[in-house]
Amino acid sequence: MEKRELVILGAGPAGLSAAIYGRRAGLDTLIIEKIAPGGQIRNTDEIENMPGVIHASGLELAEGFRRHAEHFQAEFRSAEVKALKVHEGRKIVVTTAGEIEAGAVIIATGAYFKKLGCPGEEEFIGAGVSYCAVCDASFFVDETVAVVGGGNTAVEEALYLTRFAKKVYIIHRRDKFRAERVACERAAKCEKLAPVWDSVVEAIEGDGLVERVRVKNVRTGEVSALEVAGVFVFVGTAPHNEYLNGLVAEKPGGWIVTGPHMDTSVPGIFAAGDVRDSPLRQVVTAAADGAVAAMSAYHYIDSRGQALEMERK
Ligand SMILES: Cc1cc2nc3c(=O)[nH]c(=O)nc-3n(C[C@H](O)[C@H](O)[C@H](O)COP(=O)(O)OP(=O)(O)OC[C@H]3O[C@@H](n4cnc5c(N)ncnc54)[C@H](O)[C@@H]3O)c2cc1C
């Protein structure tokens, strides 16, 4: 079986940063990606919060990460990870292009935002449809926007948006939020927030940019239009962890539990970026996680190398 020192699962900002640090620490580093290097940022037009990069398209930033990892001779493999197994202490990565035994593994397969699935949603991503207030709120100063959802994230992000937008609708399918009491109380007191109860989004419309959202009242069946410049969708996020089958400890929702060294519950397996239980999911935090995970992997491999040498003496 193919053997590698460090195998990184996923080539988003976390995986690519881990590859840079892994190679610079002298590790034989293989990075496995099922779509294309860059991860989620490939789908966004504007990134303004990556320190040192005042403005870039997501694709430019993704390409910069990829070139940097290639510059240090990280090896890329186009394949999907189907399973990660530990057998008598050996870590085996099962991919659509074969199996690899790894000295250490970094899980960096990211997360995804659940979609509404309504007409216009895909079309207007980056042109008014967003899944991240921290990323995009500043593009909606003095505009009217809509938030879709009624859980904690939706209410918290809607409150964050009121610092920028002049009015924020919250479209929710029920007649009260599912958020924690404190968030609900803050929302009730906020004059810029306008809940649209018992309602679902039927379509997002515009001409190049979002101009309105069509909303259906689930009790009356009535359809109305709200004039908005942006639609922020918060109907759930989930990690790409399906291939793990519970191998490492997870929080509810499947987010991987990590220690300060990005260590998981299984020795020699680390996790970085959006896939882990993290208070903020951004490019900068993913890249930072990747750096920590790679150095932890280096120390793990190094200490095991020394242990093996001692066993041999
Ligand atoms: C539309 C949009 C706009 C955003 N805007 C910003 C912004 O302005 N600023 C900011 O800081 N952040 C922004 N973000 C968030 C940011 O993109 C993420 O926080 C960041 O990409 C997380 O990096 P990651 O490497 O952890 O995961 P990801 O970027 O999700 O990368 C994971 C990679 O793993 C691959 N993968 C998954 N499963 C497998 C498998 N089984 N086998 C092989 N490969 C696999 C995926 O294809 C992907 O390439 C935005 C996100 C989106 C969706």
Q: Is the pLDDT confidence value at 306 over 60?
A: yes
- 312 against 68, higher pLDDT: 68
Which of 17, 21, 40 has most ligand 1 atoms within 8 Å of its beta carbon, as the pocket-test mutant?
Answer: 40
What sign for the dihedral angle of Cα 55, 193, 120, 109? positive
Average of per-residue pLDDT across 90-94: 97
Q: Is the pLDDT confidence value at 137 over 90?
A: yes
Contact 233, 131 (CB under 8 A): yes
Q: pLDDT tier at 313 (50, 70, 90 boundaries)?
A: low
Is 135 among the residues known to form the active site?
Answer: yes
Catalytic residue among 118, 132, 184, 190: 132
Q: Is the pLDDT confidence value at 98 over 70?
A: yes
Each residue's pLDDT tens digit, 210-245: 999 999 999 999 999 999 999 999 999 999 999 999
Is 136 among the residues known to form the active site?
Answer: yes
Q: What are phi and psi of 270, to 5 degrees?
A: -115, 160
pLDDT at 46: 82
- Spell out the domain ranges in the chain: 2-112+237-312, 115-233
Q: pLDDT tier at 180 (50, 70, 90 boundaries)?
A: confident
pLDDT at 309: 61
Q: Is the pLDDT confidence value at 129 over 80?
A: yes
Which of 46, 132, 134 has most ligand 1 atoms within 8 Å of its beta carbon, as the pocket-test mutant?
Answer: 132
Poorest-pLDDT segment among 11-20, 42-51, 148-157, 275-284: 42-51
Ligand 1: residues within 6 Å at CB?
A: 9-15, 32-35, 39-41, 43-44, 47, 49, 80-81, 108-111, 125, 131-132, 135, 240, 243, 273-275, 281-284, 286
CATH number of 115-233: 3.50.50.60
Query: What is the reported pTM?
Result: 0.90
Q: Ligand 1, atom 12: nearest CA belongs to which residue?
A: 282
* CATH class of residue range 2-112+237-312: alpha beta
Percent over 70 (pLDDT), the chain: 97
The strand pairing partners of 147, in sequence order, are 170, 232
